[in-house]
């Protein structure tokens, strides 16, 4: 079955939906985009050729688009602050929702959205694209294979130079509170939980905003995380560094396991096995040439294009997508618990923080 779609949001990330993610699934016959919505008429003009839309299929008002088109799915790529409003309209018109991360710009709004989706009986997925990128998928499958022994801890580094206003996509990122964690770190904390195969138990964070950046909110962060199964992780995130080291999509992730050290760096995955005959290595360390390069997995599509496929399969009665809105609340809660940890100056119990947010959202 081919599902009809209204796409909302044609900004920095939204245009990628129009150019890449949606057309690939239109070609496969999975979806048919019947309308696009954005408050910026110039943005709508950019979307038309990629989605083969007429003037009559482009709208600046989401409610009107739904009044004139009965559709199965609404894809949302707007800034997080307006996700809830878009989801409300979609659910009112009996449409499933596939939404860009994060679920919303606050944990309470994210909880409300998840509750509304559950009450409606519709399905909603969140496009945690980094988790389903090629290199991270390969690392996840390696860790799941059992070939490397028990996982001990993880390290993830993401640093880049986007300090000048507007250089990191949408200008709204420079005006919001905590842009690094809310708009970028959500991917990385989600990846860490996925690799650990566990929900985050506690997070201890230090976030800040150097004076040389144009961000209004904190754009740098160092985090320590403890997961419920005992796996630990550290996260380094930065948007205002002097140089881009392990930037967007090229993150450094090290997985320290019982029988091997796995290093993912600039989209290359290398395994360094444990060799008892090589002890001690305290001074010399390993020779980089001693590592075994692991080929990255092959498939036709990755990231959001693949997530559209997963979402359609879920609607068709297949397996629930891993990044469904209810489960994605745990990654979202980790982000906002990290922000709260920095405010308090102490570790925060993530699950307790989420329970409190559910109580506040219900009031």
Cβ proximity of 77 and 100 under 8 Å: yes
277 falls in which pLDDT band (50, 70, 90)? confident
pLDDT at 169: 84
pLDDT tens digits, residue range 283-322? 667 777 789 999 999 999 999 999 999 999 999 999 999 9
From CA 170, how far away is CA 172, in angstroms rounded?
A: 5
> Whole-angstrom Cα distance, residue 197 to residue 185?
18
260-265 and 268-273 beta bridge pairing? antiparallel
Choose among 250, 218, 222, 252: nearest CA to 235.
Answer: 222
214 closest CA partner among 183, 251, 240, 190 = 240
Where do the structural domains in the chain lie, given as residue ranges?
Answer: 3-129+303-325+348-362, 131-294
Which phi and psi (to 5°) does residue 288 adopt? -55, -30
Query: Looking at residue 361, what is its pLDDT?
Result: 85
- CATH class of domain segment(s) 3-129+303-325+348-362: alpha beta
3-129+303-325+348-362 and 131-294 in the same fold: no
Q: Across-strand partners of 172? A: none
- Give the per-residue pLDDT at 282: 63
CATH of 131-294, one of 3.30.43.10, 3.30.360.10, 3.10.20.90, 3.40.640.10: 3.30.360.10
In this predicted structure, what is the pLDDT of residue 217?
A: 97
* This prediction's pTM: 0.96
Q: What are 185-226's pLDDT values in tens digits?
A: 999 999 999 999 999 999 999 999 999 999 999 999 999 999
Residue 216: per-residue pLDDT: 96
Give the residue among 26, 71, 29, 27 at the shortest CA–CA distance from 8.
Answer: 71
């Amino acid at each position: 079955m081919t599902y009809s779609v209204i796409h909302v949001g044609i900004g920095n990330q939204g245009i990628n939906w129009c150019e890449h993610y949606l057309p690939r699934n239109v070609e496969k016959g999975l979806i048919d985009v019947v309308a696009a919505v954005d408050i910026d008429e110039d943005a709508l003009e950019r979307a038309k050729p990629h989605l083969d839309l007429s003037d009559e299929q482009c709208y600046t008002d989401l409610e009107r688009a739904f009044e004139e088109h009965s559709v199965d799915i609404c894809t949302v790529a707007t800034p997080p602050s307006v996700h809830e409003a878009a989801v409300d309209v979609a659910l009112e018109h009996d449409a499933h929702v596939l939404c860009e991360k994060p679920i919303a710009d606050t944990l309470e709004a994210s909880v409300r959205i998840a509750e509304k989706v559950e009450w409606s009986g519709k399905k909603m997925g969140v496009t945690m694209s980094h988790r389903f990128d090629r290199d991270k998928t390969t690392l996840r499958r390696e860790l799941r294979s059992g070939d490397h022994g028990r996982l001990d801890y993880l390290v993830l580094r993401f640093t880049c130079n986007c300090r000048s206003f507007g250089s990191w996509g949408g200008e709204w990122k420079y005006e919001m509170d905590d842009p690094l964690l809310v708009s970028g770190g959500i991917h990385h904390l989600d990846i860490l939980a996925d690799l650990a195969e566990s929900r985050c138990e506690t997070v201890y964070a230090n976030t800040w905003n150097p004076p040389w950046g144009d961000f209004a909110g904190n754009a740098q962060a160092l985090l320590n995380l403890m997961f419920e199964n005992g796996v630990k992780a550290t996260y380094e995130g930065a948007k205002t560094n002097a140089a881009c080291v392990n930037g967007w999509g090229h993150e450094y992730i090290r997985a320290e396991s019982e029988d091997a050290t796995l290093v993912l760096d600039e989209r290359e995955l290398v395994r360094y096995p444990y060799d008892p005959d090589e002890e001690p290595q305290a001074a010399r360390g390993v020779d980089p040439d001693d590592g075994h390069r692991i080929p990255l997995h092959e498939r036709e599509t990755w990231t959001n294009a693949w997530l559209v496929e997963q979402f359609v399969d879920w609607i068709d009665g297949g397996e629930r997508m891993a990044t469904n809105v209810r489960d994605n609340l745990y990654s979202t809660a980790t982000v906002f618990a990290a922000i709260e940890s920095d405010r308090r100056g102490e570790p925060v119990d993530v699950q307790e923080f989420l329970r409190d947010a559910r109580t506040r959202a219900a009031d």
